[in-house]
Structure 1
Amino acid sequence: MHYQSATIKLLAAASFAMIAGSALSAPETREPVKILYIGSSDSDFINAVYGEVIKEYGYRVKYVQSDFSAHFLALENDDIDISLGAWQTIPEMTKAALATGKVKDFGPTGVKVVEGWWYTNELVPFCPGLPDWTAFKNPDCIKALASADTAPLGRYLDAPADWASDSADFIKKEGLQLANVNSGSAAALVAELKSAIDQKKPFLGWGFEPHWVLNSSLGGYVHRPGFRPDNEVLKLGNIDATAKIPNAVHIVEQFHLTREEVAAAMDRIDNGGLSAPDAAKEWMASHEAVWKAWLPAQ
C-alpha cells in the first residue's frame, strides 16, 4: 500500500509538472485572479483579452459579474482584483476609488472611447443648432422625438441605469422637455439604436464607441458641457491583491488594445455568437507577437 501510494504521488507530481510546464511560466499563486465582467461586449472583450493572456502565463482566472458603477466598490473590497473597464467619460468614480488608498491606477488600455447623447441624421432637420445641446429647446425638435408613450415630451433613450449616466439630472437642470427612458440592458440599447438607424427615423439616445453599429456617417454626438470624443479607459487594481501577483501586474501594465480592435471583436460577439473569452482567443491567435511582448522576461 505504501509503495502504491508513493507511486501514485510521483505520477501525480509528474502530471502536475507537465501541466505547469505547458504554461509560459509559473504564477505566484494558484488562487484565481478576479477580473471584471459587466455584460457589455466592449468592456468584456477588453477584460477577457487580459484574462486569457494571463491564463497562458499560468494564472487561474475568475470573471466576476458586476455592473459599472458597483465595480469600483468591488475593487475597493477586493471582490474584483483587476478591472480594465474604468471609462473616463465618468472620471469621478475612478477618482473616488483611488482616493480610498485601496485602488491603484495601472494606466490606460489604449482604447479611446466616446459616449453620450447620440442622434440620427434624420433628426437634424427638426433640430437646428445640432450638435449643440440647446437645439433641444426647440419645440419642433421635441415634437419630432415624441412617442405614443411620452408625448408631448420628446423621448430620449438613456443608458442602462447601472451605467451611471447623468442624463436625467441634466434634463431636469436645463428644463428640457424630454422623457428620460432607461434601457433595460446594453443589448436592448443597441437593438433600439440599430432599429432607428435601419428605419432612418429621428432618434435620440445614449451612444458609445467603439461599436459596430455607430459611425459618423449615420449621426453624431450632442455637445453637452464636458463632452469629449477621446476618453481613456483605465486599468485599475486592488492594491493588496495585485501586490501578490507582480507578473500579472507587469502584463496589465504592458496591455494595449486599439479602438478598432475592440469594435471588430464586438461585432464577432454581438453578431457572430462568440463569447468574450472566445473572441479574445481569436484575437490572440492573430496577434501572438503583440501579447507575448506583454509578458515578463524569462
Structure 2
Amino acid sequence: MHAISTPRLRTTVKCLIGTLSLMCVASLTSHAAVPETATPITVPFINSSDSDFINAVYGEALKKLGYKVKYVTVDSAAQYTAVQTGDLAVSLGAWQTTGVEMTKAALDSGKVQNFGPTGVKVTEGWWFPDYVIQACPKLPSYEALKDPACVKALATADTAPKGRYVDAPADWGTRSDERIKKLQLPFALINSGSPAALLATFQGAIDRKQPILGWMYTPNWFTKKNPGQFVRFPDSRPEVDVLKLANKQEIAQVPVAARVLQHLTLNKEDVAVAMDHIDNGGSSPEKEADAWLDKHADAWSAWAK
C-alpha cells in the first residue's frame, strides 16, 4: 500500500483514470525533469508560411512542456548550415525537393541527425493555371515549352522574345536556371522577392487570364483556389518528404524535446489550412500552431512519451 503513494504511480493512476491529456503530459514530463535546460531551443522561421507553421508546431509544443524556445529568422538555404553549426538546434523544413542536396551535405558533416519525415508530403516545381493549355496544348509535358507559339504566349514586354518564368525567391535554391540551360528552354528567369510576392504575381495573371508559368509548391491554399498543373520534366518528383533535422550536440541535451521531434507528425491538409489563415487571415505561425495543438491534444501529448 505504501508503494502506491509514490509520485510515479500517482502519475500513472492520473493518466489511467482519464485526466485531461494536457494534465497527463505535464505529470509525465515533470518526472523526466522537463525542461532539462534553461537555454532556449532555437527553431527556424524562413518567412514561408508552410515551413514556419511546421516549425512552430514543434516550438509551441515545447513551450507547453516548459521549454524556452527562440524562433530565428534565416534564409531557406541558410538553415541547413545553421543546424550544422548549432546556431539552430533543429529544422523541420528540410524539403526533399529543393533541399535534397543541402540535406545530404548537412548529414554528411556528421553533426546533424535525421529524425525522419514530418508526415507532410510536398510537391514543388514549374506550375501553370489550367487555362494556359489553350496556348500550350502539349502541356503538361515540358516539350510544350519549346513550341514558339507557347513561348510567345508566355512572353512579356520585359522578356520577349523569350517566355517569362517566375521563379521562387533566390535563396530557395530551385536550380531552375540550370534546368533552363540543360533543356535549352527559351525562357527568362525572374526571381520573386518573397513567397507572398510569388503568389501575388500568379494571382494577378490569373485574374486577367494572362498565361503564366512559374514555381509552385503544395500543400498550398493557392492551388486549391486556382486549378492548375505541374509541368512534367524527366526529373519530376511528386509527393516527397519534408524531413526533421537536428544538431546532434544540441538535441542530446534535451531528451524529451528529442522524443517530441522524433514523433511529431502532421499532414499536408494541416499545413494548407494553416497557410490560408496565415497568408489570408492575418494569423501567425505561432497562433496556428497553438490552435492545432489545442485541437489535437491527444495526438501531440503522445509525442513526449
TM-score for both structures, normalised by structure 2: 0.87
Letter in 2 for 1:66: V
The question of whether the paired residues in 2 share the 8 Å contact of 1:24 and 1:56 is answered with no
Moved more, 209-218 or 54-63: 209-218
Measure how far apart 1:103 and its partner are: 0.5
The one-letter code sitting in structure 2 at the alignment partner of 1:221 is F
Q: How far 1:197 moved relative to its partner?
A: 2.8
Write the letter of the residue equivalent to 2:142: W
Task: Output the amino acid matched with 2:77.
Answer: S
The Cα shift of 1:230 comes to 0.5
* Contact in 2 for aligned 1:120/1:200 (Cα 8 Å): no
Structure 1: any 5+ residue segments left out of the alignment? 1-20
Asked if 1:260 corresponds to 2:282, the answer is no
Aligned with 2:295 (options 270, 279, 286): 286
**In the alignment, is residue 52 of structure 1 matched against residue 60 of structure 2?**
yes
Aligned equivalents of 2:118, 2:235: Cα separation in 1: 22
**Alignment correspondent of 2:157:** 148
- Please state whether the residue corresponding to 1:135 is helix, strand or coil: helix
Residue type matched to 1:139 in 2? P
The CA distance in 1 between the partners of 2:80 and 2:161, in whole Å, is 38
* Structure 2 unaligned residues grouped into runs of 5+: 1-25
Q: Which residue does 2:257 correspond to in 1? A: 248
Paired with 1:231 and 1:27, the residues of 2 have a C-alpha distance of: 33
The aligned amino acid for 2:68 is R
Amino acid at match of 2:222: V
Tell me the CA shift for residue 51 of structure 1: 0.2
CA contact (8 A) 1:120 1:201 kept: no
1:16 is aligned to: none
1:277 alignment partner in structure 2: 286
Instruction: Pick from 181, 192, 203 the counterpart of residue 183 of structure 1.
Output: 192
Report the RMSD for the aligned CA atoms in angstroms: 1.6
Is 1:43–2:51 an aligned residue pair? yes
Deviation at 1:132, TM superposition (A): 1.2
Provide the residue aligned with 1:74 in structure 2. Answer: 82
Aligned-partner Cα distance in 2 for 1:176–1:226 = 15
How many percent of aligned residue pairs carry the same amino acid? 51
- 1:101 is matched with 110
Q: CA deviation at 1:170?
A: 1.1
Q: Alpha-carbon deviation of 1:22?
A: 9.6
In the aligned structure 2, how far is the partner of 1:237 from the partner of 1:289? 25
Q: 1:228 corresponds to which residue? A: 237
SS in 1 for 2:223: coil
Q: Deviations over 1:220-273 (max 9, x none)?
A: 001112212201000000011111111100001110001001000001101111
* Residue in structure 1 matched with residue 22 of structure 2 by the alignment: none
Is the CA contact 1:158–1:180 (under 8 Å) kept in the aligned structure 2?
Answer: yes
Corresponding residue to 2:37 among 23, 29, 32 = 29
Structure 1 CA distance for aligned equivalents of residues 280 and 157 of structure 2 = 31
Task: Give, as a single letter, the amino acid of the residue that structure 2 aligns with 1:207.
Answer: M
Deviation at 1:195, TM superposition (A): 2.2
Count, aligned residues: 276
Alignment of 1:117-132 (within 5 A): 117-132=126-141
Alignment-mate amino acid for residue 231 of structure 2: V
Equivalent position amino acid for 1:154 in 2? G
Indicate the residue corresponding to 2:10 in structure 1. none
Matches of 2:226 and 2:171, distance apart in 1: 29
Distance 2:237 2:202 in 1: 21
TM-score, length of structure 1 as denominator length: 0.89
Give yes or no for contact 1:24–1:58 (8 Å, CA) kept in 2.
Answer: no
Counterpart amino acid of residue 203 in structure 2: K
Asked whether the 8 Å contact 2:119–2:265 carries over to 1, the reply is: yes
Indicate the residue corresponding to 1:201 in structure 2. 210
Match of 2:124 in 1: 115
SS at match of 2:249: helix
2:129–2:226 CA contact under 8 A, matched in 1: no
SS at match of 2:72: strand
Bigger drift between 44-53 and 223-232 goes to 223-232
Deviation at 1:23, TM superposition (A): 10
Structure 2 Cα separation of the partners of residues 88 and 216 of structure 1: 25
Deviations 1:25-73 (A, max 9, x none): 3211000000111000000000000000011011100011111111111
